[in-house]
Amino acid sequence: MSDLVTKTLPALPLTSGVVLPQMVLTIALETESARAAADAAGTAGELVLVPRLDGQYGAVGVLAHIEDRGALPNGTPALVIRAEGRARIATGVVGSGEGLWLQVEAVAEPATTERARELAAEYKALVRTLVERLGGRRLGSVFRDVDEPGALADLAGWWPDLSLERKVELLETIDVEARLEKVIAWAREALAEAELSEKIRTEVSEGMEKQQREFLLRQQLAAIRKELGEDGEEDATGDYRARLADKTVPDNVRAQIEREIDRLERTPAQNMEHGWIVTWLDTVIGLPWGERTDDDLDLGHARDVLDADHTGLDEVKERIVEDLAVRKLRKDRATAEREGAGPQRGDNPARPVPTILALVGPPGVGKTSLGASVARALGRNFVRVALGGVRDEAEIRGHRRTYVGAREGRIARALSEAGSMNPVFLLDEVDKVGADWRGDPSAALLEVLDPAQNHTFRDHYLEVDLDLSDVVFIATANMLDTIPAPLLDRMEIIRIDGYTDEEKVAIARDHLLPRLLERTGLRSGEVSVTDAALAAVASDYTREAGVRDLERQLAKLLRKAAANVAAAATNDERVVVIEPGNLTDSLGRPRFRRDEANRVPQPGVVNGLAVTGAGGDVLVVEATAMDGDGPESGSLLLTGQLGDVMTESGKIALSHIRSRRERLGIPADAFRRHFHVHFPAGAVPKDGPSAGVTMTTALVSLLTDRAVKPNVAMTGEVTLQGKVLPIGGVKQKLLAAHRAGMTDAIIPARNEPDLDDVPANVLAGLNVHAVETVDEVLALALEAA
């Protein structure tokens, strides 16, 4: 290595390029620091060019002389410089002019070795090969004219594809041999990439030529086979025509399928539409055209099947038996007409009877399983379509065939799964269908559930008419509020209000226990669960309208019993008897008590009755008052996440009480306070007018300091004149009052006919009072003064 020479020179930072020794180029002076460095260097002075990458200066720069000064065509000042040699950057110093001054150590080029010459020759050969593949004759001629190894390596700085980082690395490599080894490695990488790209282009070109050649050969082969009459087994269209001939398809649908088969014959296999046509034909021909199951018209057998699968639910069972009776009668009349017995009364007996039911009730009452029981009673196939969370209208009607990956909707797909054109369709959770920018699925269901339209239901993907008129549709829902009115109008609503404790015991004994015994591997003789234990589980460990939680608790009991049976040593020890006294060993302490409602007489606290998505419930409504003067005196605050209707009911209650202050015996100054009425379960939204009498009673109790009887629950809408108007959900509310241990229930007089739907054992345990005015409510609910 030669001796180092130290110099102090102005520095010109380079942010968009790297200058290597022996380069002559023009540099634009676009920044103040660049112009300051040029001025400090003088007219023909010397300066150091330093690369600046990501805000960091390079460790090595290049010494350069200014050959000329001038301006670019756009007026920007510029320098013509000649780079002469490398220089290590030492430190920044204070110079004689403005700008950045650096102390640098000039580095002389090392002496040329034999190894360096060999590397230079190898590099030249690589460059020639690379130029032949990528082009660039001028660059190749420059390389041929340079023999000095160090200068040859530095010529890589002109390579446009070399990254800025690698050019800086090349500048900072002082040793000639190391420098040549780097550029050789980079040249080999570039050559490998060029060879790979050329190979890929060649393979793609050859592949396209091969496909074209195969297509021509296949066309010629097809023509030869056609001339020889040997194309029968190879013809896919022949298979589709044979499958279509075996189907009982409507004429318009058959014509559409035949058009698509003809189109398939004219479409080459390489055309992407060929696959679309094949998929469409497989889907359409795969539908169960003309396939129907015969209804089992034995009414007694149908009722036996329904009773065996479900306890209670008499209204639904009667509706299904009635529908079956109509079908039986129409079939008998049609048979009589064909036998020449003369015309019978009624419309066309051959036309299917539309059956579109909606089972509405809380979770766990058996709505979904009832659909399968109906199918079994009718002798039809059963298919379930889950609608919960569906937000895309195409899920019902299918996608247009123009979309990639299009397929039929859930209705057409369910027909294929059912294997017949008259199955029992269960549209599960129809109240949880959503809507967004992709469309409203409930709007698509309007055609499906309309008997006047569904005989020509058209799926967007199939684009043929599907006859759904003989399908039995059963929809399930927890709430009616979220179902659009036009869709609700197309369904016959059947409410399932939940089970009494006695019905739950029967369901657990006849249905749940046999199923759970099989799941847990137990035999009936190994476990004995008494009716008293079942009743205790239903009342003390569950609080629901259905039986899902009851099934979970019984499963927990049987798992504990299975553990005891498996651990027993003798057969005598393997008999497990479950009674009320040992429930706590398996289920822990009771979760619910019948005295959870208001059991302590206290002014302002009333038991109200409500209906939620889980069935009826007893809500303890609380009222209190706070002293206060000013314009807000006598204000009413309602809490518990209440809706507008419920809030208005509270204001009506307070206005009615004020108007009847003297008759109710309330002092005039009693209203100079702030009133607060709270409904529990604040996380659950509540709305509706049925809490009017409850809030009125709570406020009167508070203002008169008379407690409400703790065993009384009430419901009803109130008016400003003190009338009690009818409300909904009477059966569910009375069931909740009975579960909570209430002895008296107050309902509107106009709801008295609804008591016919309430089980007799519930009415036997409740004194139901039908009232017309608030005065009657207060007389029944308030303790004596």
Would residue 690 show up in a list of annotated catalytic residues for this protein? yes
pLDDT tens, position by position, 197-208: 878 877 777 767
- How far apart, in whole angstroms, are the C-alpha atoms of residue 355 and residue 357? 6
Give the separation between CA 50 and CA 86, rounded to whole angstroms: 10
Higher pLDDT, 17 or 341: 17
Q: Report which residue type is found at 269.
A: A
Instruction: Specify whether the backbone of 42 is left (phi greater than 0), alpha (psi in -120 to 50) or beta.
Output: left
Burial tier of 243 (Cβ tally within 10 Å: 0-12, 13-18, 19+): middle
CA distance 716 to 722: 11
- Average confidence (pLDDT) over 59-81: 84
Closest CA to 553 of 607, 598, 526, 592: 592
Higher local confidence (pLDDT), 257 or 350: 257
State the sign of the Cα–Cα–Cα–Cα dihedral 663, 668, 670, 676. positive
Q: Is 347's pLDDT higher than 60?
A: no
Residue 108 has pLDDT above 60, yes or no: yes
If you count DSSP H runs as helices and E runs as strands, how many of each does the chain have, helices first?
A: 27, 25
pLDDT tens for each residue of 171-194: 788 888 888 888 888 888 888 887
| Chain length of the chain | 785
Is the pLDDT confidence value at 346 over 50? no
pLDDT at 233 over 50: no
Using alpha carbons only, give the angle 308, 291, 331 rounded to the nearest 5 degrees.
65
Could you give the CA distance from residue 113 to residue 405 in angstroms, rounded to a whole number?
67
What's this model's pTM, rounded to 2 decimal places?
0.60
Catalytic-residue membership of 733: yes
CA separation for the pair 608, 619 (Å, rounded): 5
Cα-based distances in Å from 16 to 28, 79, 82, 168, 745: 11, 16, 18, 11, 88
Mean pLDDT of the chain: 81
User: How high is the pLDDT of residue 595?
Assistant: 47
Cα distances (angstroms) measured from residue 684 to each of 70, 614, 643, 687, 692: 81, 12, 11, 10, 19
602 burial level (CB within 10 Å; 0-12, 13-18, 19+): middle
**Active-site annotation holder among 539, 586, 690, 701:** 690
CA 730 to chain centre: 36
Those residues whose C-beta lies under 8 Å from the C-beta of residue 124, and which sit 6 or more positions away, are: 143, 144, 152
Q: What is the pLDDT of residue 695?
A: 92
* pLDDT range class, residue 694, cuts 50, 70, 90: very high
Query: Minimal CA–CA distance to 301: which of 368, 381, 376, 372?
Result: 376
Give me the percent of the chain exceeding a pLDDT of 70: 89
Residue 745: its pLDDT value, please? 93
The beta strands (E) that lie in 339-435 are given as 355-360, 382-386, 424-428
Q: Are strands 465-466 and 457-458 parallel, antiparallel or unpaired?
A: antiparallel
- Mean pLDDT value of segment 645-655: 89
Better-scored residue on pLDDT, 438 or 327: 327
Model confidence at 712: pLDDT above 80: yes
| Predicted confidence (pLDDT) at residue 385 exceeds the cutoff of 80 | yes
- Residue 14: pLDDT over 50: yes
Q: What is the pLDDT of residues 723-752, one digit of tens each?
A: 999 988 888 888 888 878 888 999 999 999
Q: Token pair 């087994």 is at which residue? A: 233
Q: What angle do CA 631, 632, 635 make, to 5 degrees?
A: 140
Q: Residues 577-631: pLDDT tens digits?
A: 888 888 888 888 888 765 444 466 788 899 998 887 666 788 889 998 887 665 5
Please say if the pLDDT value at position 55 is more than 80: no
